[in-house]
Amino acid sequence: MSIKGTRLNKELVVKDKLNIRIHPIGSIDAQEWDQFLNSTSESTFFCTTDWWNTFEDAYILQIRDNNGKLVGGVPFRTLKVLPIIGKYFRFSWLDSSVLVSDGLNQEDHLNIKKISFEYLVKHLEKTGVIVMTISSKSHSLDENLFQVLFKSSEKCATLIVDLSKEEEDILKSFEKRKKNSIRKAKKMGVVINILEGESGLPLIPDYCLLQNKMFEYKSNSYSDIYAKSAQHIKSILLSKQKTFIAMAYYQGQPVVGNIMVSHKKAIYAYLGASDNMLNRATNASTLLELESMMYVKRKGYDSYDLGGIPAQVPDSTDSLYGIYLYKKGFGGAHFVFDCATYMLRKSRYRFIWRLRKLDTNPVMRKIYKLLKKFQEKNK
């Protein structure tokens, strides 16, 4: 199948009548899309309609063959990063590369990705987007394609624990300090509670309490944009895909919380929050991680993705060094993937980057919040 072609307005017409269209995420056949995801090895929970329906201004680019069969696509969203004048400073966010059915040959596979990205960039330029980011949630190996299209690419990585092993073998792969932490947490009487989907909704307030404490403790290094609302967490737990909330308690107080999501046979550690001081005293997070792995293993899942880490071992002075050490201790296999950032309007992007450096400044954060409230009030 040859797929070279030309662009015509909002539709890409190619040889064999392949075409590309962009739809609001809420208007597509969700079942068809989720079935398509089963045909591609690059898909994760962060490609599903459950994930993208939690965002405003979310869309999906879809590619169909001459029989109307869905053969590729990619979800994305646009967001305003400044109040009041946000329409001039839009970002676009993708959590995967363009996804293509594994059944196509390598040449067609690559060409579909290339044409789709070219089409998407043209679309984003028309809508005022200044930068497009293919995030570190990506599970693609598209470095060469990104270099050709965007003149750059980046590496992202994760650690994945193999849950197909026997439970004792999984524990054996933990570093010694992790095993010691588990024994300490058990000795101190840390209690674990793991609930699935809707049944976990009553635990959301405890999770949000921990999140607030965490952001207060790390206010000098964490931006509020990473905080997730109770409504967002509720939406995740009510997904069609299996989702879980895990909480660790000490003497009735919440210490650590995890939000886990799933796709196919994989579990993804999506969100985590903790009472930093109480967690250090009890080592509850390590026990919670172990119990979460065992729980989902018994549910039939065969991998546990611990989430993003640096592609290379960070220096001990790096802010990500502690996260790297924590996740590395669970003995997961190291996987490296490709992501990218493409600037469509460089001058506006540099302006935003300078403002982001002030994001943790208390005065600037107050000004930002006031502007945001003013904008919401006058919608």
Second-level CATH architecture of 5-154+339-377:
3-Layer(aba) Sandwich (3.40)
Name the pLDDT band for 256 (thresholds 50, 70, 90): very high
CATH topology of domain 164-301: Aminopeptidase (3.40.630)
pLDDT digits (tens, 9 = 90+) for 161-211: 999 999 999 999 999 999 999 999 999 999 999 999 999 999 999 999 999
Judge whether residue 217 has pLDDT over 90: no
The dihedral sign for the CA sequence 64, 69, 71, 76 = positive
Q: Which tokens hold the place of 122?
A: 């043209």
Put simply, whether the predicted model's pTM sits higher than 0.75 gets the answer yes
Name the pLDDT band for 216 (thresholds 50, 70, 90): confident
Please report, rounded to a whole number, the percentage of residues in the chain having pLDDT higher than 90: 68
In 3D, which of 117, 105, 104, 96 has the Cα closest to residue 39? Answer: 104
The dihedral sign for the CA sequence 297, 301, 307, 311 = positive
Same fold: 5-154+339-377 with 164-301? yes
Q: How many other C-beta atoms are found inside a 10 Å radius of the C-beta of residue 30?
A: 17
Q: Cα separation of 184 and 193, whole Å?
A: 18
Question: Do residues 129 and 342 touch, judged by C-beta distance below 8 A?
Answer: no
Q: Cα separation of 321 and 311, whole Å?
A: 12
pLDDT digits (tens, 9 = 90+) for 14-29: 445 678 999 999 999 9
pLDDT digits (tens, 9 = 90+) for 27-57: 999 999 999 999 999 999 999 999 999 998 9
pLDDT of residue 351: 62
Helices (H) and strands (E) in the chain, counts: 13, 15
Q: Which tokens hold the place of 197?
A: 């989907």
pLDDT digits (tens, 9 = 90+) for 284-323: 999 999 999 999 999 999 999 998 888 898 888 888 888 8
The dihedral sign for the CA sequence 31, 33, 34, 40 = positive
More confident residue, 90 or 236: 236
- Characterize 281-318 residue by residue with b for buried, 16 or more Cβ atoms within 10 angstroms of its Cβ, and e for exposed: ebbbbbbbbbbbbbbbbeeebebbbbbbbbbeebeeee
pLDDT digits (tens, 9 = 90+) for 323-370: 899 999 999 999 999 999 998 876 665 666 555 555 554 544 554 454
pLDDT of residue 226: 64
Judge whether residue 13 has pLDDT over 50: no
Domain boundaries, the chain: 5-154+339-377, 164-301
